[in-house]
Amino acid sequence: MEKVKWGILGAAKIAQFRIVPALHRSTYCELVAVASRNQQKADEFAKNNNIPVAYGSYEQLLDDPLIQAVYIPLPNHLHVEWIEKAVKKGKHVLCEKPLALSVSDVERLIALRDSTGLLIGEAYAMLHQPRLHQLKRLFTTGELGKLDSAHGCFYLYNRDKNNVRNKYEKGGGSLWDIGVYPIATGRWMFGEEPVEVSCTMEIDEQFNVDYHVTGWLRFPSGSHMSFVCGMRYPDHTHMSFYTENHRLEVPSTYFSDNETQNVIQTYKGLTPAKTYEFEVVDQYSFECDNFVLAMQKKQPFQGSLEHTLAQTKVLLALFESAKLKKVVEL
């Protein structure tokens, strides 16, 4: 299969540290260009990251007829605008999470995707992580019992006033940035969508963004999950899953590059049972290759817009619950 030619909109940190290495390492992708709003920044980013072409505007990259797929790592409030511009120029688009901040935007993008036949996907790299696929298989086969309950956590420390996460008008805050991970992972593992949610959040007075959030989701089968996320705490990501007889611990859940934590540890009662061990892999590279397979071979892509639509509904219901201080039905 011929490699798909990719361009990146914005010299973003996530692009530099995760997606550029992933594209270079991938099987089906070739990274050919980066664009920045500033030509000098684009030139430096291209030179430092071994990218052949640097554009001084996003429009110029979208006008390049050689580029087939575009990766968008812009601040959250710009995702939808640039997805639409890229698709209208005939590009397939992989966009960072959260892909959109409203249900109507996702619905409009679904219509655009369907009318153009171009793929629009959301970049949740953990959806491409082999360990989490194994976890899903354990729940699908039911060999450890029915999944009844889960708890997820994503904490980090970020009080940088210049960071997009601390800017309300740019779609900042901990729920949009990191709370999305336990929620998306839980929805996947339970295999159903919540019918009720509840949430409480603390708002940072200086930045006007949520810096600490606790929430729960109730699924139609009667299963529940809870989560916490926050931007004022030492880094920690973890999920625990419970069946009637087993507890499954998944450390560093949303990442696959930690040598010591790339395991699923099961417990029966308080006693450790089986440990599933996994190789360190680049889940971002799998994500880019899976996107190409979806583009070219029409294989399903796990970060589909239908996934985004359901996820966005849950997130907005959580915000509503925090605002109204009551349980919200979906």
Ligand X SMILES: NC(=O)c1ccc[n+]([C@@H]2O[C@H](COP(=O)([O-])OP(=O)(O)OC[C@H]3O[C@@H](n4cnc5c(N)ncnc54)[C@H](OP(=O)(O)O)[C@@H]3O)[C@@H](O)[C@H]2O)c1
Three-state SS for 30? strand
**Which residues between 225 and 284 bind ligand X (CB under 6 A)?**
none
Q: Detail the DSSP E strand segments found in the chain.
A: 4-9, 29-35, 53-55, 69-72, 92-96, 120-123, 149-157, 196-203, 210-218, 224-230, 232-242, 246-251, 263-268, 271-277, 328-329
Q: Which is nearer to ligand X, 223 or 283 (CB)?
A: 283
Residue 216 or 230 having the CB closest to ligand X: 230
Which of residues 37, 137, 146, 159 is near ligand X by CB under 6 A?
Answer: 37
Measured CA distances, 280 to 250, 260, 286, 287 (Å): 14, 9, 12, 15
Q: Which of 54, 123, 135, 199 binds ligand X (CB under 6 A)?
A: 123
d(CA 229, CA 174): 6
129 phi and psi angles, rounded to 5 deg? -85, 120
When asked if residue 186 is in the footprint of ligand X (CB under 6 A), the reply is no
Q: Which range touches ligand X (CB under 6 A), out of 36-44, 150-158, 218-226, 296-304?
A: 36-44
Per CB under 6 A, 36 contacts ligand X: yes
Is there binding between residue 14 and ligand X (CB under 6 A)?
A: yes
Closest CB to ligand X among residues 216, 291: 291
Residue 82 CA to residue 88 CA, distance in Å, equals 10
| Least distance to ligand X, CB of residue 224, Å | 26
> From CA 236, how far away is CA 228, in angstroms rounded?
11
Asked if 12 is part of the footprint of ligand X (rule: CB under 6 A), the reply reads yes
Rounded to whole angstroms, the Cα distance separating 181 from 222 reads 22
* Cβ neighbours around 204 below 10 Å, total: 18
Among 74, 201, 225, 239, binds ligand X (CB under 6 A): 74
Shortest separation between residue 36's beta carbon and ligand X, angstroms: 3
CB of 240 to ligand X, least distance (A): 21
Q: Please count the residues of this chain forming the interface with ligand X, following the rule CB under 6 A.
A: 21
- Told to check if 10 binds ligand X by CB under 6 A, we report yes
Q: Are 200 and 324 in contact, with CB atoms under 8 Å apart?
A: no
Closer CB to ligand X, residue 38 or residue 48?
Answer: 38
The reply to whether 78 sits near ligand X by the rule CB under 6 A is yes
Is residue 318 near ligand X by the rule CB under 6 A?
no
> 312: Cβ–Cβ under 8 A, 6 or more apart, which residues?
98, 100, 101, 102, 103, 106
Tell whether residue 164 is a contact of ligand X (CB under 6 A).
yes
**By CB under 6 A, residue 125 contacts ligand X:** yes
Instruction: Note the residues at the interface with ligand X (CB under 6 A).
Output: 10-14, 18, 36-38, 41, 73-76, 78, 96-97, 123, 125, 164, 177
